Amino acid sequence: QVQPVESGGGLVQAGGSLRLSCVASGGIFSTYAVGWFRQAPGKEREFLAAITTSGGITSYADSVKGRFTISRDNAKNTVYLQMDSLNSEDTAVYFCASTMGGYGLRSRNGYAYWGQGTQVTVSS
């Protein structure tokens, strides 16, 4: 099985960009679908984006459509989340998750393996 590890979070001004990375450890990441979620203080963990094993199909939450882009480079065992036009509502802990399944990718219950999270803070 794989252990996802997130990186790339930090402080950014409103209107700026960040690229998060999710790297697999202990397995072949190309055999797993991957999703990104976030959790703000006092709120439930929220689905953001998902990508299939080949990268041929992607899915996005309405809140980030047109601003966030999920992609993968299986040769590097890495999945990315490019975040543009960030605003204060994007401040949260961001999590990467993976599954060998291909269904329920917009739900937390669709994933078996989770990273530790990386903090993203957007200042005005």
Evaluated on CA atoms 120, 47, 79, 22, the torsion sign reads positive
- Give the pLDDT of residue 1: 65
Long-range CB contacts (< 8 A, 24+ apart) of 53-57? Answer: 53/102
In the structure encoding, which two tokens stand for residue 62, read together? 């309405």
Residue range 97-114: average pLDDT? 92
> Are 6 and 83 a contacting pair, CB within 8 Å?
no
Which of 78, 113, 82 lies closest to 95, judged by CA?
113
- Give the pLDDT of residue 94: 98
With 70 as the cut, is the pLDDT of residue 13 above it? yes
Burial of 67 (0-12, 13-18, 19+ CB in 10 A): middle
User: In terms of DSSP bridges, do strands 118-123 and 10-13 run parallel, antiparallel, or are they unpaired?
Assistant: parallel
Select the highest-mean-pLDDT range: 1-5, 35-39, 54-58: 35-39
Residue range 32-41: average pLDDT? 96
